[in-house]
Copies of this chain bind each other. A is one copy, B any other.
Amino acid sequence: MKISNIDVSTYPNSEKIYVDGKLFPIKVAMRRIRQYPTVKIEDGQRVEYPNAPVTVYDTSGVYTDPAHTYDVNEGIPRLRESWIAERGDTEVLPDITSEYGRMRKADPSLDAIRFPHSYKPRRAAKGKKITQMDYARAGIITAEMEYVAIRENLDNEARGISTYITPEFVRQEIAAGRAVLPGNPNHPEAEPMIIGKAFAVKLNTNIGNSALSSGIEEEVAKAVWSCYWGGDTLMDLSTGDNIHETREWIIRNCPVPVGTVPIYQALEKVRGRVKDLTWEIYRDTLIEQAEQGVDYFTIHAGALREHAELIKERTTGCVSRGGSIMVQWATIHNQQSFLYEHFDEICEILAQYDVAISLGDGMRPGCTHDANDRSQFLELDVLGELTERAWAHGVQVLIEGPGHVPMQKIQENMDRQRQVCHEAPFYTLGPITTDIAPGYDHITSAIGAAIIGRLGTAMICYVTPKEHLALPTLEDVREGVIAYKIAAHAADLAKGFPGANVRDDALSKARYEFRWKDQFNLSLDPEKARRFYLESRRAAADADDRFCTMCGPNFCAMRISQNCEAQA
């Protein structure tokens, strides 16, 4: 099978730049947006004042590098492969370890849908500790740590903006568990990034087919598309057919860390019968996915048998797929959740592949009525306990949270999480702040995400306009990502993240000076901004009028204001 590239173009008037490391021979990708000069008439002469380019965080990988010829059937460059090999503490396995993975590999009927290239899995060598947390605790700064330090700072140094983010600072944050740097050696295509309160707020996107929809090509297109618009990590939540093969295509083409919820695939393996789930099937799934390169697993180990009673008090019960599966399993078998019981074994596996654990919020509230209730906070307490257990194995930890929370209850979520989960990074879905707007939940939740991001949440999980109604299309992915870029950036501004205001200030200056093209190019969605303007102008050629279509020339406040300045 050959599939088609999705058409993502480069960004207008932008160039891909690569900043050299000082400690390691790394090249950190960023995007530089050029600006037009400010033109003034002085003494009857036209004088140009240059405007410095603006460097922005870039999640789009090689897809926006014109020097790279991209073909999804080849996958993207394996950036970190040599870094990992050179550390000499991993081994390349002769074959994949998981039974299921070997079965799929041996099945010729799958040849038609398989990714055309295969790689041997890599795992910690015997006795070696290879997670970024292990390195950080041992005082080792890795290439990945330097990469993210440079990446977070953009061009702050050149601008004279002081920052606290150094490779050593990154190391300390990871060592303390306050930040996560996803780093599965089997996903060397991923550009290093970091998730933590001290860093820029990140956003996760979800894609994935269900039994009812969507094929491999469509999911790969969504993955590329979400990175193009600004997704920092990507969760593949597929639950339909050919999950294994779909995931391979996604990972091999994904420049950002990939997460999954392994219980979904485990359930598919028992044909959707919760009763038939076993620890052994789940364990094999963990290994299967770790060797494909999944960077973090959502594991609902805090959803316990005890929750079956508690969720009866709720309006919407349990709305987490993973959480509801585990509670049902525990109820059917009258046993404690096997994820909780086998948690240390899970961590032992994950540590060998530096797969981070994202402790799932199986009891997140599914409506504002259920927010901050006993179910939710009991689970959070359990997640705090599990955090320490994971850290004991050197496994990096994220804590998943919110869902539907009215604004006045958001702060308590952040405060309790920080307290009981020992400052492990918080990773929240929204929260959605009112239940009454299906079709607009990217907005109801961007409100909550911006608020909780400002309070210290490290990563926010996007919500698309289709939430509660259907799976997102490409356009929905774009709308969801931009809404969450807005929330994340508004939070960065509010928390005073170093250099966060540079892009805002540049765009505002361009706006005031009627440099329309710069306004578009500096925006999160240049294509849409430009289209809205030109549709209204009904003039496709140029966009340098000194007024806009909202007010017309006589009523342009900025124009009048500039005249005032000239006269005063």
Contacts and interface: CB of A to CB of B under 8 A. Distances in A.
Contact of A331 (B240, B512, B528, B568): B568
B324 A483 contact: no
Interface in A208-251: 210-213, 239-240
Given A434-B490, A564-B331, A468 B548 contact: yes
B532 A470 contact: yes
Interface in A465-518: 465-471, 482-483, 485-487, 489-491, 493-496, 501, 503-505, 507-509, 511-512
Contacts of A553: 211, 272
A324 B557 contact: yes
Given A315-B505, A525-B437, A532 B469 contact: yes
A239 B523 contact: no
Q: Which of A274, A309, A443 has the most CB of B within 10 A?
A: A443
B407 A433 contact: no
A325 B564 CA distance: 9
Interface in A526-568: 528-529, 532-533, 535-537, 548-558, 560-565, 567-568
B444 A447 contact: no
B435 A466 contact: no
B320 A557 contact: yes
Contact of A210 (B331, B496, B549): B549
B523 A490 contact: no
A568 B368 CA distance: 24
Contact of A447 (B438, B447, B519): B447
B560 A444 contact: no
Interface string A238-273: 011000000000000000000000001001000010
A230 to B, nearest CB: 11
Contact of A311 (B323, B442, B511, B565): B565
A327 interface: yes
Nearest to A476: B532
Interface string A186-216: 0000000000000000000000001111000
A482 B550 contact: no
Contacts of A28: none
A319 B561 contact: yes
A397 interface: no
Nearest to A56: B436
A439 to B, nearest CB: 4
Given A316-B512, A536-B466, A553-B211, A489 B331 contact: no
A430 to B, nearest CB: 11
B501 A368 contact: yes
A522 B552 contact: no
A18 interface: no
Contact of A469 (B212, B316, B466, B550): B550
B561 A324 contact: yes
A241 to B, nearest CB: 11
Nearest to A468: B511
B551 A437 contact: no
A395 interface: no
Contact of A317 (B212, B469, B512): B512
Given A323-B557, A436-B504, A557-B323, A407 B454 contact: yes
A408 interface: yes
A564 to B, nearest CB: 5
B437 A482 contact: yes
A489 B501 CA distance: 30
Contacts of A78: none
Nearest to A537: B470
Given A536-B471, A549-B213, A551-B210, A501 B369 contact: yes
A440 interface: yes
Interface string A63-105: 0000000000000000000000000000000000000000000
A321 B366 contact: no
A140 B116 CA distance: 82
B210 A550 contact: yes
A470 B535 contact: yes
A564 B363 CA distance: 14
In the A-B complex, the 10 residue pairs with the closest CB atoms? A470-B536, A367-B508, A317-B561, A272-B554, A407-B494, A211-B552, A324-B560, A439-B528, A433-B490, A308-B568
Given A318-B557, A469-B550, 5 more contacts: A312-B568, A368-B504, A369-B505, A433-B490, A471-B549
27 contacts: A210-B552, A211-B555, A213-B536, A239-B555, A264-B555, A267-B554, A308-B565, A316-B511, A316-B561, A321-B551, A331-B564, A366-B558, A367-B508, A368-B493, A407-B450, A407-B490, A407-B494, A435-B511, A436-B486, A437-B482, A438-B520, A443-B443, A447-B450, A447-B486, A447-B490, A469-B533, A470-B535
Interface of A: 210-213, 239-240, 264, 267, 272, 274, 308-309, 311-312, 315-321, 323-325, 327-328, 331-332, 366-370, 404, 406-408, 433-440, 442-444, 446-447, 450-451, 454, 465-471, 482-483, 485-487, 489-491, 493-496, 501, 503-505, 507-509, 511-512, 519-520, 522-525, 528-529, 532-533, 535-537, 548-558, 560-565, 567-568
